[in-house]
Structure 1
Amino acid sequence: MDKVYESPEAAISDLADGASIAVSGFGQSAGSPMSLLEALHKRGSRDLCLVGNTIPPGAGPLIDERRVRHLIMSFTSRAGRLSATDELLADGVMTYELVAQGTLVERLRAAGAGLGAIYTPTGLNTPIADGKDIRYFDGRPYVLETALRVDYAFIAAHRADRSGNIEFRAANQHFGPSFAKAARVAIVEVDEIVEDGELPPERIDLPGIFVARVVRTTVPNTLPKYGLKRRPADVAREYHGKPGWTRVQIAEQAARLLPEPSYVNLGLGIPSYVSSFIKDRDIVLHGENGILGYGDIVDDEETYPDVFNATGVSVTPRPGISYFDSVTAFEMVRSGRVDVVVMGAYQADAEGSVANWATPEMTGGGIGGAMDLVASTQAGGSVMVLMEHCDSQGRPKLVQRCTYPLTGKACVDVVVTDLAVFRRRDGALTIESVAPGFTAEEVWALTDMEAHTPRT
């Protein structure tokens, strides 16, 4: 059963206008099927629905030419950045549905498994759950999410044989398996095609029964593979002429608070720097892209190809590291096997609620995996938030009640800002320690919540 096609153009020759296409890719461009996207652009297809974690870089021309009618994404917008996509969404030219990352892959997996829907704890008490059925199981609430079937899946992988068996490399598996299983026609572009039998069975990550077509990659991915350029991590923000902790120092403070032994998820941005302070401690780091047991950040993408964290930054593989898809990654979180989740935020409030996916200036937002991660608290996990004390406009990020759309309600246990470490006690945040040169009174004056002193 030879599934190899001569070119990306041949592989999509039957793709009709109005098709729904799940497109793989993590970070800025890791795992993006650039060859298939270019062939799609050349084909002139219109009225498309794109499904994915974030808008793939190769889809930019399709969006600019208004050939995409609908997006189903975990990220449609980024804070502080205005794109052509934002303008089209704001004008209603293109519509969208925001889906939490773990829910996205689970809806696609459900479609591939022949299921009609799933119930998940993700999204409770947030706008994502508005209007959806809520059911209780064992006394806990769950949100109904329907299966998500697509016409096509465009996926990038490392190697394939002629029967369509697929091998991904390291952490670049992420969305590939769930996207392929949900598709009527799954097309995979690969770096290398080998004869049947040349892929060791134990290295087949996606069996050929889920793959309809295979092509060789023809368009090199010349974009930065992992993430956008990071902000300076060693420059401190000043408050009243005094420097707080740098972003790296915030991460260092957080690392000291992590228990041992533990499994710890590190989210985007500041939390990613925590890995530099784990060293030989009995802590195993987890990333929702499908990685468990990584170490320090490395400065290049070639030392350890396709080994990257959830921020999309290259990291060191530690002894015992393992790789898997995003479905498995979120199973680890929602089941409570990850002990601590460390994430960034736009706001956190006195009752421990957190908002980190949308601000009033954004159209849509960037949910990513955060809602799935805070759902871990239902199974006994702990949530730690790392952020600067005020935003770029000088507005406090610690508030009495979140005014931005919630990611999770009353779920945060610890907050570390560039001015202080806070812990939730007696239903409110209390200060445990402050940055050098500051007093607790100065820190409280820079928040928008009532000061709280723990009981003695």
Structure 2
Amino acid sequence: MDKVYESPAAALADLDDGASIAVSGFGQSAGAPVSLLAALRERSSRELCLVANGLPPGADPIVEGGRVRHLIVSFTARSGRSSATDQLLSTGAMTFELVPQGTLVERLRAGGAGLGAIFTPTGLNTPIAEGKEVRCFDGKPYLLEPAIRVDYAFITAHRADRLGNVEFRGANRHLAPSFAKAARVAIVEVDEIVEAGELPPERIDLPGIFVARVVRKTVANTLPKYGLHRRPADIAREYNGKPGRTRLQIAEQAADLLPEPSYVNLGLGIPSHLSSFVEDRDIILQGENGILGYGEIVDDDELYPDVFNASGVSVTPRPGISYFDSVTSFEMIRSGRVDVVVLGAYQVDAEGSVANWAVPGMTGGGIGGAMDLVASGGTVMVLMEHRGSNGEPKLVQRCAFPLTGKACVDIVVTDLAVFRRRDGVLAIDSVAPGFTAEEVWALTEMDVPAAGVRNGAGGM
């Protein structure tokens, strides 16, 4: 049962028009199957349905060529990056379904497990729930989400043997196992192909029964890891002629509020910097890409190959680190085992509702794992600058943008203040040096609660 093909092109020889393809990868490009995407670009297959967390830049020529009819993704757009996808979606030339990351991976897992659907708490009270069946179990509401099955899956791994047994490396398994299991034909591109028996059984992360074809990588992954316009983390925004906290200082302030011991999930943007401020504390960081126990961000991407956070940014492995797939990661999240989730946001309102995946004028957006995280039952902390780059308010009386979660935020840390939700409303807990509570409220477009300001941020 030799599953090795001579080339990516040979492995795709029967991929016809109308095929559905699950394309693995995380962040901008981590784990992107670049060799298989390059082979797909050379084919004439059209009317494709692509399923992905977010399409890596390597898929852009396929989309730009008008060869894709439908997307099922967690990200149709990413901050700082624009592409032909945006234009095609806005004109209706290509349709899409936006799915929370944990729901996406679970729907694919269900498809691979021979199940018809799942029920999930993720997305309740948001646009994702519109038109979907809601059913209660043990007094709690859940959304019905159908399983996803695909014709092909493109995944990447470190090694595979000729029987199709696969070994991943570090955090680079993420969505790949569930994508492979949901596919009629799962194709894996690897750094190395070995003979059957050369992979130790305990290091086989995906059994060969789920893999149809194996090819050696022919294209290096040189795709960009980050968005085009990453904000400097050490430059403060000014208010009333005075500097607030920098993005790094926001993260440092937030780190001081974390309880010990605790498991903490860090989101994209400012929250990702928090990992640089918990090294000596009894805090274990978790990422929805499938990593538990990582440390600070490192600039050298080659120092720790395949060790990265949910932003796709390279990080240090701490003693006791573990890696797993995204199904396991979201089991940790939805089961309430993650104590604190730290997110960025576009808006937070007075009752603690949060919007962080879409703004007016955007077609689709970037949900990622945020909806799963705010529905987890853990403490929800939002880190953001007090006002946007154009001076627009981010703390508002009621969110005008599509909700990520309703009345779920417990703490907000901005460059001007720390807010806590008490008795159903946000109130100032402490202010940044050089500012007063009155100044902060004047820059905040929500009603001032009777609680006013409480001195001292304290812990949770």
TM over 0.5: yes
User: In the alignment, what sits opposite 2:394?
Assistant: 397
User: In the alignment, what sits opposite 1:408?
Assistant: 405
2:107 maps to 1:107 = yes
User: In the alignment, what sits opposite 1:441?
Assistant: 438
* 2:376 partner SS: helix
Say whether the 8 Å CA contact 1:78–1:362 is kept in structure 2.
no
Q: Which amino acid aligns with 1:412?
A: V
Say whether the 8 Å CA contact 2:160–2:192 is kept in structure 1.
yes
Say whether the 8 Å CA contact 2:23–2:153 is kept in structure 1.
yes
Flag structure 2 segments of 5+ consecutive residues without an equivalent.
455-460
User: In the alignment, what sits opposite 2:207?
Assistant: 207
User: In the alignment, what sits opposite 2:190?
Assistant: 190
* 1:447 partner SS: coil
Give CA deviations for 1:380-416 in whole Å, capped at 9, x if unaligned: x110000011112211100011010000001000000
2:93 maps to 1:93 = yes
User: In the alignment, what sits opposite 1:326?
Assistant: 326
User: In the alignment, what sits opposite 1:148?
Assistant: 148
Say whether the 8 Å CA contact 2:89–2:363 is kept in structure 1.
yes
Q: 2 CA distance for matches of 1:430 and 1:58?
A: 45
* 1:442 partner SS: helix
Deviation, 1:222, is: 1.5
Aligned residues: 453
1:383 corresponds to which of 367, 380, 384: 380
Q: Which amino acid aligns with 2:10?
A: A
Give CA deviations for 1:216-237 in whole Å, capped at 9, x if unaligned: 0001112234665632100001
User: In the alignment, what sits opposite 2:420?
Assistant: 423
User: In the alignment, what sits opposite 1:283?
Assistant: 283
Say whether the 8 Å CA contact 1:176–1:325 is kept in structure 2.
yes
Superposed counterparts of 1:120-131, under 5 Å:
120-131=120-131
TM-score by length of 2: 0.97
* 2:410 partner SS: strand
Deviation, 1:312, is: 1.1
Deviation, 1:81, is: 4.4
Q: 1 CA distance for matches of 2:164 and 2:322?
A: 24
Give CA deviations for 1:125-161 in whole Å, capped at 9, x if unaligned: 0000100000111111100000000000000111000
Q: Which amino acid aligns with 2:318?
A: R
- RMSD (CA atoms): 1.2
Q: Which amino acid aligns with 2:348?
A: A
Deviates more, 1:57-66 or 1:323-332: 57-66
Superposed counterparts of 1:3-22, under 5 Å:
3-22=3-22
2:451 maps to 1:454 = yes
User: In the alignment, what sits opposite 1:367?
Assistant: 367
Q: Which amino acid aligns with 1:432?
A: D
Q: 2 CA distance for matches of 1:65 and 1:176?
A: 26
Say whether the 8 Å CA contact 2:271–2:342 is kept in structure 1.
yes
Q: 2 CA distance for matches of 1:27 and 1:199?
A: 28
Q: 1 CA distance for matches of 2:187 and 2:143?
A: 32
Say whether the 8 Å CA contact 2:117–2:145 is kept in structure 1.
yes
**% identity of equivalent residues:** 80
Deviation, 1:447, is: 1.1
Deviates more, 1:247-256 or 1:75-84: 75-84
Give CA deviations for 1:86-120 in whole Å, capped at 9, x if unaligned: 11110111111000000000000000000000000
- Shift in alpha-carbon separation, 1:273–1:100, aligned structure 2, 3 A: same
Say whether the 8 Å CA contact 1:227–1:311 is kept in structure 2.
no
Superposed counterparts of 1:146-185, under 5 Å:
146-185=146-185
Say whether the 8 Å CA contact 2:354–2:403 is kept in structure 1.
yes
TM-score by length of 1: 0.98
* 1:412 partner SS: coil
Say whether the 8 Å CA contact 2:80–2:227 is kept in structure 1.
no
